[in-house]
Amino acid sequence: MCGIVGYIGPRDATPVILAGLKRLEYRGYDSAGLAIIEDGRIKIRRDVGKLSQLESLVEESPVSGNIGIGHTRWATHGEPSARNAHPHLGMTGDIVLVHNGIVENYMELREELSAEGAVFNSETDSEVIVHLVERYLSTNGNLVDAARNALSHLRGAHGIVMISSKEPDKIVAARIGNAGGVVVGMGEGEMHIASDMPAILEHTRKIVFLESQQIAVVTRQGLDILALDGRTIDYQVSSVSWDPVSAEKGEFKHFMEKEIHEQVRSLTETISGRIDFRNGHSIRLPELNLTQKFAQDIRKIFITACGTAAHAGMVGKVLIEHIARIPVEVDIASEFRYRDPIVDENTVLLAVSQSGETADTLAAMEEGQRKGATLWSIVNVIGSQAMRISDGYISMQSGPEIGVASTKAYTAPLVDLYMLAILLGDLRGTLDRKSRQKLVDDLRLLPDLAGRCLDREAEVERLARELIHVNHCLYLGRGINMPTAYEGALKLKEISYIHAEGYPAGEMKHGPIALIDREMPVVVIAPRDPWYEKMFSQIEQAKARGGVVIAVATDGDQTIADIADHVLWVPHTPWLLSPVTTVIPLQMLAYHIAAQRGLDVDQPRNLAKSVTVE
């Protein structure tokens, strides 16, 4: 979704901003632009399409200066076009800004401002903000105060960054609610600003996160943070460790392929340091701040998330209910926030989010917090809003995930949820020492098992070749692997644009069975888990109707081999961990189908990496 980059310092801002925007390309966008103050005047370059388009524009018509802002836009109001691309310039030509989020009352503001004489040059909601700032500048002449006044009119969530040619010594930024983050990077004699850390980490690791309802005033020398009423606020500088090189594709054609292969490492990192071998294989999750008393008092856990993260949550429900015997409900975040859920102080709201910035998930967390729940989160991006507002968190340890389709950030939280279930079971006394040791020993096998799934990529690729022309695909799973069916279908549809549906296998006979014919492959997740026998009968039902069955099955399962048309083999995995191994061939299948169809795997159409609008 939209990305923001800003720079002030001794260097030429243009290449710094372009490089920053490049680092944010993975978020998904449809147009890009930048504004630089050159010789006291604001110069804008912007266009629809990829960043390379903007780079060519800058090459043909160079701009340079020591202060500037840039933006990649994911259209919400107004089609993707050069005039709707950010930055947006005010009528005086002195103010320019970029914006993430949605101005919910923009129609009303647009009418009001038009009546005052404002002329709009775009169809965006964002343009009202620049006119509002100008309205207040014309009366009190100070950018920070004008910005504060303008913000008081906006409904919705926003990240806004602006500069003025009349005050070329500063960048003014604001964060209202959860429309993505605003981070300030403190350099040596220079300052950076961005919506996301990857844009600036090559310049500095000293980061300040702006909270909601705060304004940042960034100059070459430093940073002031103000509340909306103008009070100065103290802030903390965090030191962030992250390796920009890991955001390169290396030997792989796409980030998604690289990230699928990184799962052995990410699972290892997820486990490492979290098992206390000297203390009877107990689990350590210190950032959760969980006491035995609180663990025993929990009556219910709501897991809330969106998309792939919600599928991880569904596996988590089975794990926590089975191991720790706590009732768990899984709620899609966009539903939870509006359905008046029954929550009290013995409820935990556990959010799962790769980015930690998904607007719906953050809103669900806020709703849970308002009603008195304890907030936990499982998050990949360190320092993200979800992590910051939680009472306790587990960090995924996956490293940056760049491909829009989530892969390693799906399997890591499965392991986090498994460890959480063990810890809760331990503290609540539902797990004896021997069972705990067995669960932990199983966990240690996992990275190797994942590696053995990856070793079979060539077979998956061969099958992908046979499937590249299909139009529809049904995925069936049951029990702990029902979410695997959902996730396999989501992976296929989002990157290959093939219609795919995930279904609880037992529901097939209640409707979807009508769809089955030779044209509709049925992917059946049937490892040796407690639902195996049941899955076997689903395969027979599909075969009896002429369906082409692709089974995900455990090595050596001759019965499945005899009945299915194709088998994607996985090594024998303890059933509570089986969703980790069964999903890997499905990730690879979706990847190879999309890659063989020649599609933009890492940035599928219409999708964004972190969805910061409602």
Q: Which stretch binds ligand F6R (CB under 6 A): 136-144, 300-308, 415-423, 592-600?
A: 300-308
Stretch that binds ligand F6R, among 177-185, 217-225, 354-362, 591-599 (CB under 6 A): 354-362
- Residues within window 397-416 making contact with ligand F6R, judged by CB under 6 A: 405-406
SS3 content of the chain, % helix, strand, coil (to 5): 40, 20, 35
From 408, 491, 493, 609, active-site residue: 609
- Closer CB to ligand F6R, 401 or 529, in the complex: 401
Helical H segments across 102-197, by residue range: 106-115, 127-140, 143-151
Options 34, 96, 306, 589; binder of ligand F6R; rule CB under 6 A: 306
Interacting residues with ligand F6R between 145 and 184 (CB under 6 A): none
DSSP assigned state of 445: H
The token pair that represents 226 in the structure block = 């103000």
Cα(515)–Cα(298) distance, integer angstroms: 43
Nearer to ligand F6R, 195 or 538 (CB): 195
Q: What angle do CA 368, 379, 460 make, to 5 degrees?
A: 125
Residue of 355, 374, 397, 587 that binds ligand F6R (CB under 6 A)? 355
CA distance 172 to 226: 11
Number of residues that bind ligand F6R (CB under 6 A): 15
CA distance 155 to 594: 40
Which positions from 547 to 576 touch ligand F6R by CB under 6 A, shown as an x/- string?
------------------------------
The yes-or-no answer on residue 609 being catalytic is: yes
CB of 394: closest distance to ligand F6R in angstroms? 14
Phi/psi-derived region of residue 156, left when phi > 0, alpha when psi is between -120 and 50, beta in every other case: left
Among 353, 395, 398, 587, the residue binding ligand F6R under the rule CB under 6 A is 353
Closest CA to 349 of 335, 330, 325: 330
Residues 6 or more apart in contact with residue 508 via CB below 8 angstroms: 474, 476, 538, 541, 542
Q: 355 or 397, CB closer to ligand F6R?
A: 355
Chosen residue from 347, 358, 398, 496 binding ligand F6R by CB under 6 A:
358
Q: 146 vs 143, 153, 211, 444, CA distance in Å? A: 5, 12, 20, 57
Q: How far is the CB of 270 from ligand F6R (least distance, A)?
A: 15
Comparison of 191 and 415: residue with beta carbon closer to ligand F6R = 415
Please state, in angstroms and rounded to a whole number, the distance separating the CA atoms of residues 170 and 97: 13
Work out whether strand 191-194 and strand 95-101 pair parallel, antiparallel, or are unpaired: unpaired
**What span, in angstroms and rounded, lies between the C-alpha atoms of 101 and 83?**
18
Q: Which amino acid is at 37?
A: I
Q: Which stretch binds ligand F6R (CB under 6 A): 30-38, 302-310, 506-514, 591-599?
A: 302-310
Q: Judged by CB under 6 A, which stretch of 162-170, 243-251, 353-361, 522-530 contacts ligand F6R?
A: 353-361
Per the listing, tokens 């030997």 go with 251
Q: Which residue has the tokens 């040791």?
A: 437
Look up residue 561 and give its DSSP letter: H
390 lies in the binding site for ligand F6R (CB under 6 A): no
Task: Respond yes or no: is residue 453 known to be catalytic.
Answer: no
* Residue of 2, 306, 453, 473 with catalytic role: 2
Known catalytic residues are 2, 609
Binding site for ligand F6R (CB under 6 A): 306-309, 353-355, 358, 361, 405-406, 490, 494, 610-611
